[in-house]
Amino acid sequence: MIGEAPGGSRPEIRIDRSDVGRRVSVRRLSEVVEGRPVYRDVVGVLVSWDDACQVTVVPRAGEPVSFPAELMIAAKTVPLFPARRTALPETEPTALQALASRGWAAADQQRLGDWLLRASGGHTKRANSCQALGDPGLPLAEATAAVGRWYAERGLPALFEVSTPGTDPALVAELDALGERIAPTEVRTAPLAPVIRAGAGTERVRLHRAPDEGWFERYHGGADPATAEAARALLLGGPSVWFAAVPAPGGGAPLAIGRCVVDGPWVLFNAVETAPEARRQGLATAVMSVLAARAAEEGATGAFLQVEADNTAARTLYDRLGFTTSHTYHYARLPQR
């Protein structure tokens, strides 16, 4: 019998497949040594319960723990990892930009001195632009020409990600002379504790290590088929990636989604979206709270995100969660030849 302990005692199994994606505490029979049972406990996210009744839990640190469901002795859902008030980690804008690039890692990358050229099938400007931080190792005119050739070889427009502060002012002036600024964006930071505490209805949120088809359908209304493969690769890339979703009652695309990447003391949030019919219900806040709690469980203390300056609704949400602007960036496009 599932979960039955030696001696015939009744189990206390209070979870089932419907709890996949929630934080749980499980005690299981690990082994029998000299006729005596040895039990082990694991607390973490229940990420799978497959048709073969194999259960997998991802604990606070380390590798996922998998075991047959029949070995469970006791199991229950548990609250989010508790919010602990901590200061923001010390960092510089250029370091945050590098973290953001690692959390949205382009498939094709090449260094030009300190600059990072990124291409990923055209999905998002961030993954298809030159992150112009530091010294390219060439005179600026030669460096910008090299960037233009690199993107032309890939059939992409030559975009620069221009950070303020961070990018060489001489390059900023040169790019301004060549064309317009595109998609001005704020990079915002916040301590994790207020984000964790802000959410209500967090029990509706489920966490996963990879996006299912419903999640992907909600993401930007489903990626352009021409860039769908690149989008999936970008979404899955990063040191420790988590996806959150609020399932729709009738199935299909979730009511709300979000993604985070935990990277040391920082967690990057992105892809936070809510179905039009489900807005103003606190679902985006709940998604971010659950992601923040998981990030804190892995040791993160600070959060950051990128929001376009004209996205008033998102900026209002992030204001309420305590995010403030660290720095800004925009894109500049070289003229096509």
Name every residue whose Cβ is closer than 8 Å to that of residue 219 and which is 6 or more positions away in sequence: 211, 231, 235, 257, 271, 273
What mean pLDDT do residues 329-336 have? Answer: 92
Q: Give, for 230, the enclosing helix (H) or strand (E).
A: helix 228-236
What mean pLDDT do residues 308-313 have? Answer: 95
Residue 110 has pLDDT above 70, yes or no: yes
pLDDT in tens, 162-183: 999 999 999 999 999 988 899 9
Note if the pTM is more than 0.85.
yes
How many other CB atoms sit within 10 Å of the CB of residue 12? Answer: 12
pLDDT at 221: 67
What mean pLDDT do residues 108-136 have? Answer: 97
Rounded Cα distance between 226 and 290, Å, is: 32
Share the mean pLDDT of the chain. Answer: 92
For 250-314, the three-class secondary structure string (H helix, E strand, C coil) is CCCCCCEEEEEEEECCEEEEEEEEECHHHCCCCHHHHHHHHHHHHHHHCCCCEEEEEEECCCHHH
Residue 336 has pLDDT above 90, yes or no: no
